[in-house]
Chain A
Amino acid sequence: MRITDVLYNEKQAVSFLCLLQLFVSICTIGAAWQLSRVVCDVFLQNLSLNAAAPNIGLLLFFLLTRIILQYLLNNRLHSFASRLQLKIRKKLHRCLIMQAIPSDRLQLLAVETTDALDKISSSILPQLLSILVLMPLILILIFVTDLQSAVIVLVTLPIAPILLALIGHKTKSATLDQWRKLARLTASFRDMLAGIITIKIFRQEKTNGQRLMKNSRAFTDASMKVLRIAFMSSFALELITTLTIAILSVSIGLRLLYGETDFTTAFFLLLLLPEFYRPLRQGGTAFHAAADVSTARKALQETIDVSDVSSGQHTDDTLQIPPDITIQGLSFTYPDAPLPVLHNINLFFPAQNITCICGTSGIGKTTLLKLLAGLLPADNGCILFNDKNLAGFALESRQKIITYVPQMPHIFQGTLSDNISMFEHASDNVTKIKEILAYTGLSLPYNTVLGAGGQALSNGQCQRLGLARAFYQDRPVVLLDEPTAGLEPAEEQELLEKLSEFARRKTLIVISHRDAVRKWADREIQLEAVMSAPSLEVRYE
């Protein structure tokens, strides 16, 4: 996804851009030529306004044509960038299936970081095109019209990059140090903001405000150190440009004085010089833009690359349903965690049974359920559905077999019906969903809008929505995480009765610490007991 690769893939678009830039450059040069002719006519030939009018008209033509062409060019550049952004966003969306990205980081990546790629079209490519097309064209013209000026330009031109490289080399380590310091200070500022509630509870708003001010001042100082170096480079570039223009105007003026060249050419060259040096002077901005784009690109690339882990490819229609589920020597450690959550677990869940998993919070009940759903990969050991390893199942197979309802079902933006079918659009949906709504006692119209901005659901309604999803999917293995947490006993009993009917001919595993659920289940597993037990040893009720 390097910019050069992207450009390579769009050869046609790029050559069109170059062509447009060529015409823009021709118009720039044409306008400069016309203008110097007008000045010459009026100044040396003493023509009146009327006599000069045709040339002025031609000048206006060049000026306006250039605007239109430049507008087209910008449009092209921008649509190129927005195509690229859409492509990246779509890639990013596909990654979400493979890896969990926290909501705030995902938003940052998909919105701000991807937006930063705008700079390709607004700053980098225009500069690049100018350097590749406009500068050589003007240089050729200078060569043709005035060899001596061309020699001066050619001699001074390489000074700029050499000077820049020298300054850059001398200040490289200092700049790196300052960048690191800036990153640290920014992190420290964020840390302070994240801790505001703690600071409020302990009434230390003032003292921490003072710390914040010190932090901000250090940030200013570090930024200014970096900027001073950057401004030094710009100063060098600017000085070379202005001095070259000064030297050239004097040398052209002297030759004009001795009649070695004519006024129109001299004025023409003078008009072109700023145009010639502009891409060079704006090189600093383009350089910073390139740095921003490359940071953004790296951040996106990291996320997109990680997602190439493939899951099992096994699609199996021979699995007898509902299956027995056996866990053998299962261990799991969260990345970055020092200790495993689950260590060498052995369990058995018979088919057509309801098994309740109990245990204190934090012991790993939810983790176990996610492992059973195949949402987390086991470090060691395996989960067998009858005699087939879950790890070998393709995602599509798991989706046909397993229903998973988390502790707090997430409510998506959309209608209640979308939230139950999870956006599946089948023709008989409405009747099926109405039946489910009546069955689960969710007394809302099926087209109620939920989620951000829509109607809020109470805790009980949320739990019922989770179960409604399970009823809708109607799969042989059902995993429920605290389906009755926070419900009144009567409500709980009602839901359990409905679940009993639903659980027939299914393998149902439920996490709960509620006595009613433990009694209702066919079997109960105390996770603490299993954790310390070395072998397959399950406590039966």
Chain B
Amino acid sequence: MSNLLAIKKLISLAGLSKLLLMLFLGFISGLAGICLMGSAAWIISYAALHPPLYALTLGITCVRFFGISRAAARYLMRLFSHRLAFRCFEKLQLMIYTKMCRELPLKTSLAKQGQYMQQLSKDAELLRDFYLRWLLPVLSTGMLTLCLCLWLHEISPASSALVCFVYGIHIILPVIKINMVKRNEPVNIYRDTLTDVSEGRDELIMSGQQNSFMAKLDNGAVSYGEAANAQQSQQEITSACLDIIRQISFVVYLSLLIQAIGNGTLEPRWLGVWILLLLGLYIDFAELTAAAFPLLNAVESAMRILDKPQQADIVESSPLDSSSEHILSAENISFSYSKGYPVFSTISFNLSKGESMAVRGDSGSGKTTLAELLLKLYPTDHGEIALFGTPYSNLSADIIRSYFSASIQQCHIFSDSIRDNFTRLHPGITDEKIWQALDTACLGNDVRIMPMKLDEPMGENGSRLSGGQRNRLLTALAIASDAPCLILDEPTDGLDKITGARLIENVISHIQQNGKTLILITHDVEAASKLPRELLLSQP
């Protein structure tokens, strides 16, 4: 049932009228294909009766016409159907973007998050192919079958019914068969084992047990391969079954036609024509089988992309009372990524407008997580954060984030250029403001000596920058915003002491000039000491 629903949604995504046009083109191309062979058979059969030459003219014209129109129709169908599929692909890409905007960051590990994003991108590609390889061929072949059967019905009703039945089997059998195969489990185990090796590589090598672990990996690959083989052989058996059904039905069809000749409903010289028409149709049927196997995956993909959000963000935004004493307050908040393992012991604090605070703690004590909670990237498990006295649960994420600008460790550097990074996050920003922000973050001089200055390409996630430069760019991106509350996550990481101290000084004078509130996440005691208040995180 859910399969049908997914297919229905995909059809509406493509647009019914466009789909119908594709269908028509597919039908024409299929028709021209089988008619080419049919008219060739007509010429030969008729010629065997030695009629006058002019009697063959019709056949000769037909065979040439269908020969050319087959190639042309097929070309047009491919062109237009691919354009349609790619247009749908555009919509699907936007859909996965919107979905990810809603769901990221996940509470799982970064590796799992990457896997999830990869999966969705692959889903979109799979669905694009679904239109091309399955939906359009199934429908246009169906139309072709229907036309042929209507014509055939007058000659031999039984054989007409037979052909319809064979078409139905070709749609239904693969769908039933593939529903029974599960390939996911071994591949997930194998993936997890691969992750283990990649992330625990150092310990594995030093332990001296790498060989016994290799055996484990190899076993993973073997059972993954076996699962793939099982699926493959399931497909091959299904194809073979359909082949047998097709060939037997062909022989039955032949016998029925011979009977029809005996009954006088079919002229003998049409026998060869009907045989070649059916053989042409059966070639299309055989192609349907191969296309049906990725169908289950496509349906799964469709479910992943098209599912509705489980809970809508509460957008009922009560007006914020900006005269409230505390811009930000937290009361006994706690949070855990996996149930029962809270990241830090409960936190409470109040922060007045213009007041600044350092957040310290060991690595793994949840400093960055606190920033993510303040930005409502995750909801708290217990306790409540409030903005101007209004609890977060009553505020939309959009309103909350409008009060913040932040650089956190999950932040990404876009690969195009420095200017591109600024204009993406601050549309309409002037070069002057960019330079100002860069200078405050002590990065201006580094950029001035880059060959292309603001247009310097950054590489994938800023890979052309050093760790320190990357951090300073993130700081500059956050500073460029006018939001009243600034969150900086380890801005001095990877900087030498002098630059680090200068950066902190610059940031402090920046927030004092603009009346901003600063939350500085750092393990650097010296930097933290420059701020009036300190919040120390500890593990539960």
Cβ distance A460 to chain B, nearest Cβ, rounded Å? 8
Chain B residues positioned under 8 Å from A75 (CB to CB)? 233, 236
Instruction: Compute how far the CA of A223 lies from the CA of B82 in the bound complex, rounded to whole angstroms.
Output: 9
Q: A43 near B272 (CB under 8 angstroms)?
A: yes
**B225 adjacent to A82 (CB under 8 Å):** yes
A213–B70 contact, CB under 8 A? no
Asked if B117 and A231 make an inter-chain contact with CB atoms under 8 angstroms apart, the answer reads no
A75 vs B232: C-alpha distance when bound (angstroms): 9
> 1/0 per residue B183-208: CB within 8 Å of A?
00001011111111111111111111
Nearest-neighbor residue (CB-CB) of B206 within chain A: A404
A57 to B114, CA, bound (A): 59
A406 within 8 Å of B (CB atoms) = yes
- Nearest chain A residue, comparing its CB with the CB of B213: A423
Residue A370 at the chain B interface, CB threshold 8 Å = yes
Residues of B within 8 A of A469 (CB): 203, 207
Does A396 lie at the interface of the complex (its beta carbon under 8 Å from any beta carbon of B)?
yes
Q: What is the bound-complex CA distance between A395 and B460, given in angstroms?
A: 34
Whole-angstrom distance between the alpha carbons of A121 and B248 in the complex?
Answer: 27
Taking CB atoms, residues of chain A closer than 8 Å to B82 are 223-224, 227, 231
Shortest CB-to-CB span from A240 to chain B, Å, is 9
For chain A, the count of residues having a C-beta within 8 Å of the partner chain is 146
Contacts of A485 in B (CB 8 A): 362-364
Residue among A60, A266, A396 making CB contact with B48, cutoff 8 Å:
A266
Q: List A residues 215-263 near B (Cβ within 8 Å).
A: 216-217, 219-220, 223-224, 227-228, 231-232, 234-235, 238-239, 242-243, 245-246, 249-250, 252-254, 256-257, 259, 263
A56-B255, A409-B203 in contact; A187/B415 too (CB < 8 A)? Answer: yes
The digit string for B288-306, where 1 denotes a CB below 8 A from any CB of A, is: 0000000000000000000
Interface residues of A in 283-305 (CB under 8 A from B): none
Stretch in contact with the other chain, from B96-104, B157-165, B384-392? B96-104
A249 in contact with B398 (CB, 8 Å): no
Interface digits, A183-198 against B, CB 8 Å rule (1 contact, 0 not)?
0000111111111111
Closest to A252 in B: B44
- Where the two chains meet, the residues of A that have a C-beta atom closer than 8 Å to any C-beta of B are 35, 38-39, 42-44, 46, 48-49, 52, 56, 59-60, 63-64, 67-68, 70-71, 74-75, 78-79, 82, 85-86, 89-90, 93-94, 96-97, 100-104, 106-108, 110-111, 115, 187-205, 207-209, 211-213, 216-217, 219-220, 223-224, 227-228, 231-232, 234-235, 238-239, 242-243, 245-246, 249-250, 252-254, 256-257, 259, 263, 266-267, 270-271, 274, 336-339, 360-362, 370, 373, 375, 395-396, 398-400, 402-413, 421-425, 451-453, 456, 458-460, 469, 473, 482, 485-488
Residue with the highest number of chain A CB atoms closer than 10 Å, among B59, B198, B216, B247: B198
Q: Contact at B199–A410, with CB atoms within 8 Å?
A: yes
- The verdict on B71 contacting chain A, using a C-beta distance below 8 Å, is yes
Enumerate 14 A-B pairs (CB-CB under 8 Å) in ascending A order. Answer: A89-B218, A106-B195, A193-B121, A196-B104, A202-B481, A227-B79, A238-B75, A239-B67, A270-B44, A274-B279, A362-B494, A399-B208, A422-B203, A473-B207
* B94 and A220 within 8 A (CB): no
Q: Which of B144-152, B404-412, B510-518 contacts A (4 or more CB under 8 A)?
A: B404-412
Q: Mark B106-140, 1 if CB is under 8 A from A, else 0.
A: 00000100110110010000000000000000000
Q: Report Cα–Cα, A356/B455, bound state, in Å.
A: 45
The size of the chain B interface, using a CB distance under 8 A, is: 151
Residue interface bits B230-242, CB-to-A below 8 A is 1, else 0: 0011001001100
Q: Is the CB of A43 within 8 A of B45?
A: yes
The 4 lowest CB-CB distance pairs between A and B, nearest first, are A410-B200, A399-B208, A249-B40, A242-B67
In the complex the two chains form, what is the Cα distance from A463 to B97 in whole Å?
38
**Does B201 lie within 8 Å of A250, measured CB to CB?**
no
The one of A111, A370, A451 in contact with B190, judged by C-beta atoms closer than 8 angstroms, is A111
Report how far A42 CA is from B101 CA in the complex, Å.
69
**CB-CB < 8 A to B377: which residues of A?**
197, 200-201
Task: Give the contacts of B263-298 with A (CB-CB under 8 A).
Answer: 268-269, 271-272, 275-276, 279, 283
Inside 8 A of B90's CB, which chain A residues have their CB? 213, 216-217, 219-220
> Residues of B contacting A421 with CB < 8 Å?
209
Interface of B is mostly: helix
- Among A56, A63, A103, max chain B CB count under 10 A is at A103
Q: Is the CB of A404 within 8 A of B36?
A: no
Instruction: Assess the B87–A220 pair: CB atoms within 8 A.
Output: yes
Q: How far, in angstroms, from A63 to B59 measured CA to CA in the complex?
A: 30
Asked if B456 CB lies within 8 Å of chain A CBs, one says no
- Please tell me if the beta carbons of A96 and B93 are within 8 angstroms of each other in the complex: no
Asked whether A194 lies within 8 Å of B412 as measured between CB atoms, the reply is yes
Chain B residue contacts of A423, Cβ below 8 A: 209, 212-213, 216
Of B63, B121, B463, which is within 8 A of A336 by CB? B463
Q: Contact check: which of A63, A399, A482 meets B207 at CB < 8 Å?
A: A399
Interface check B262, CB cutoff 8 A = yes
Given A43-B269, A224-B82, are A107 and B115 also a contact pair (CB < 8 Å)?
A: yes
In this assembly, does B530 line the interface, its C-beta being within 8 Å of a C-beta of chain A?
no
A249 to B239 CA separation, bound complex (whole angstroms): 32
A130 to chain B, nearest CB (A): 15
**Quick check: is B17 within 8 A (CB to CB) of the other chain?**
no
Given A224-B83, A253-B44: A410 and B196 within 8 A (CB)?
A: yes
Contact present for B86 and A266 (CB under 8 Å): no
- Max chain B C-beta neighbours (<10 A), residue from A82, A106, A193, A209: A193
On chain B, the residues within 8 Å of A46 by CB distance are 268
Q: How far is the CA of A202 from the CA of B375 in the complex (A)?
A: 10
Q: Answer whether residue B439 sits at the interface, using C-beta atoms and an 8 A cutoff.
A: no
A425 and B111 contacting across the interface, CB-CB below 8 Å: no
Which of B18-26, B317-325, B420-428 makes up part of the contact surface? B420-428
Set B194, B202, B240: member contacting A107, Cβ < 8 A: B194
